[in-house]
Amino acid sequence: MKRKDFLKAASPLFLLLANGNIVKAGNELQSFLGKKKRLRFAIASDLHYGQEKTDYDNFLKTVITKINAAHVVQPFDFCMLNGDIVHNDPKHYPAAKALIEQLKMKWYVTPGNHDQVTAEQWMQIWNSPVNYTFTARETVFLAATTSDEKGKYICPNLGWMRQQLEQHQHAKNIFIIIHINPAKLTANAVDCPEFLELVKQHKNVRAILNGHDHDQDGILKRDGIPFIFDAHVGGNWGTDYKGFRIVELLDNNDVLTYIMNPDVKINSATLQV
């Protein structure tokens, strides 16, 4: 499939302009297709592997296949699986991990409220802490937990976030990846005013990527901060499709993003400088 046809099969595209505005690509799509990409990644959440009375194994196999297929059309720098990898029972981690390891690109995971293991157990399973930073093509990503081992919702670790944001204050772009929305923008979100105040001080934070809310697949804003949702891969509620999101940082520093459904592109946007 050509990239042009691939994009037609996805959600409306949105641009996160470098000035913080969000616009729907619409008829301007062709101009964005020709722009050089600095970074491209996929993000999916809420796999809920092991949830009873759901086809969880097939759900995960399908999204892995679709992400790999999109990677063939145009390679991803990485794929992020943003929380609720399993559903309440750690016994499902080996099977879920075996499928995730079939991804053809570098991948990362964050914990969600249904993952319900300690930070030490998470490290043993994934060889990754619950809060960590990584860089891809000079773009900084802060991945952090928003729940404890019992599934209780918590705000991101403020001390850790402050340290990381200060350390990377000269980075051109930062994306924060956390499972639960911290701005109380949805019924299932939490309110973290100190965290939001901190993020507002760092204008190089382009967006916060959230999972958790299976019925959210768009972009919401609070205090000028874009919060980008990606629907769900598994579970028994939410949008009537199961998909994943693609995010592309363009060479002019705009961000193009859209949902794959998992074949059909919907709800795309651009964040511009």
3-class DSSP state of 17: strand
Contacts for 39 with CB less than 8 Å, ≥ 6 apart = 77, 136, 137, 139, 248, 249
- pLDDT, tens digit, for every residue of 238-268? 999 999 999 999 999 999 999 987 556 666 6
Gap between the Cα atoms of 254 and 258, Å rounded:
14
- pLDDT confidence of residue 120: 99
Q: pLDDT tens across 50-82, in order?
A: 999 999 999 999 999 999 999 999 999 999 999
CB atoms within 10 A of CB 31: 9
Domains identified in the chain and CATH numbers = 3-272 (3.60.21.10)
The string of pLDDT tens digits covering residues 84-124 is 999 999 999 999 999 999 999 999 999 999 999 999 999 99
pTM over 0.85: yes
Q: Where are the alpha helices (DSSP H) in 189-248?
A: 193-200
Compute the distance between CA of residue 225 and CA of residue 184 in angstroms, rounded to an integer.
13
